[in-house]
């Protein structure tokens, strides 16, 4: 004799009998999933375009006749948000004269390093925007789902205990439904964690290319400063 599944059990049955806590947990997981996939799609497309564009734009910059011309070409490119700030810092430093400030009293090489480092940190901040949110969703959504499961099992056991006679079917059905919330939490977490790892690796490669561009730009500015007028 084969066992047949109960058609009244499942996701629809669980939600129809869920209390406010379960509904709130499901809504939280849904919002986390929407935010996660929005970041994954937006950051993934941006990272893919940026990695392809940086090398080409750096080559165009170094083929320019002057820093001002190179900066203008970078500002019209898709990589303007990361390459242009460093080129802009170089142009401003080239135009700046002596000042009574601590920066103005520093050695020229120290001023170059400080400006380019500040611009590089700003670029790093732009690249890492949204990654903390993605990591937080990946880390917390399984626990949110687990909370929903525990609460569902707790409510089911209270209901079963009040019915008098307890049978295995009465326990297995509600517990099986309660595990759906854990599955929801994992379904939200797994893509977020995988995307976070992929974007972190992509950003690490991009930052290495930006660091190389900043070092080349620093070497150019220092050499030009030391050339005789």
In this prediction, what percent of the chain has a pLDDT beyond 90? 22
| pLDDT attached to residue 201 | 92
Closest CA to 3 of 168, 157, 177: 168
- Residue 142 — pLDDT band, cuts 50, 70, 90? very high
Distance CA 69, CA 79 (A): 16
Ranking 1-5, 139-143, 146-150, 193-197 by mean pLDDT, the lowest is 1-5
In this prediction, what percent of the chain has a pLDDT beyond 70? 74
Burial 68-94 (b: 16+ CB within 10 A, else e): eebbebbeebebbebbbbbbbbbbebe
pLDDT at 4 over 50: no
pLDDT at 62 over 50: yes
Sign of CA dihedral 45, 48, 54, 56: negative
Convert the pLDDT of each residue in 197-225 to its tens digit: 999 998 898 888 888 888 888 887 777 76
pLDDT at 196 over 90: yes
pLDDT at 165 over 80: no
Count CB neighbours of 4 within 10 A: 6
- Residue 108 — pLDDT band, cuts 50, 70, 90? low
| pLDDT attached to residue 89 | 76
| pLDDT attached to residue 14 | 65
Q: In this structure, what is the dihedral angle of CA atoms 49, 52, 218, 124, given to the nearest 10 degrees?
A: 30
| pLDDT attached to residue 215 | 86
pTM for the model stands at 0.76
């Amino acid at each position: 004799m084969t066992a047949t599944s109960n058609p009244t059990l499942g996701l629809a049955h669980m939600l129809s009998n869920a209390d406010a806590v379960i509904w709130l947990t499901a809504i939280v997981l849904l919002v986390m999933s929407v935010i996660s996939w929005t970041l994954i799609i937006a950051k993934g497309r941006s990272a893919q375009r940026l990695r392809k564009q940086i090398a080409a734009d750096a080559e165009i910059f170094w083929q320019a006749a002057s820093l001002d011309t190179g900066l203008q070409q970078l500002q019209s490119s898709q990589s303007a948000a990361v390459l242009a700030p460093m080129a802009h810092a170089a142009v401003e430093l080239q135009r700046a004269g002596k000042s009574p400030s601590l920066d103005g009293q520093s050695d020229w090489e120290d001023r170059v390093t400080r400006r380019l480092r500040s611009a590089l940190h700003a670029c790093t901040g732009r690249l890492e925007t949204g990654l903390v949110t993605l990591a937080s969703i990946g880390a917390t959504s399984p626990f949110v789902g687990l909370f929903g499961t525990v609460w569902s099992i707790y409510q089911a056991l209270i209901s079963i205990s009040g019915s008098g006679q307890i049978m295995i079917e009465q326990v297995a059905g509600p517990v099986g439904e309660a595990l759906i919330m854990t599955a929801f939490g994992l379904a939200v977490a797994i893509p977020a964690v995988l995307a976070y790892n992929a974007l972190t690796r992509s950003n690490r490669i991009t930052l290495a290319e930006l660091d190389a561009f900043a070092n080349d730009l620093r070497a150019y500015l220092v050499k030009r400063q030391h050339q005789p007028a």
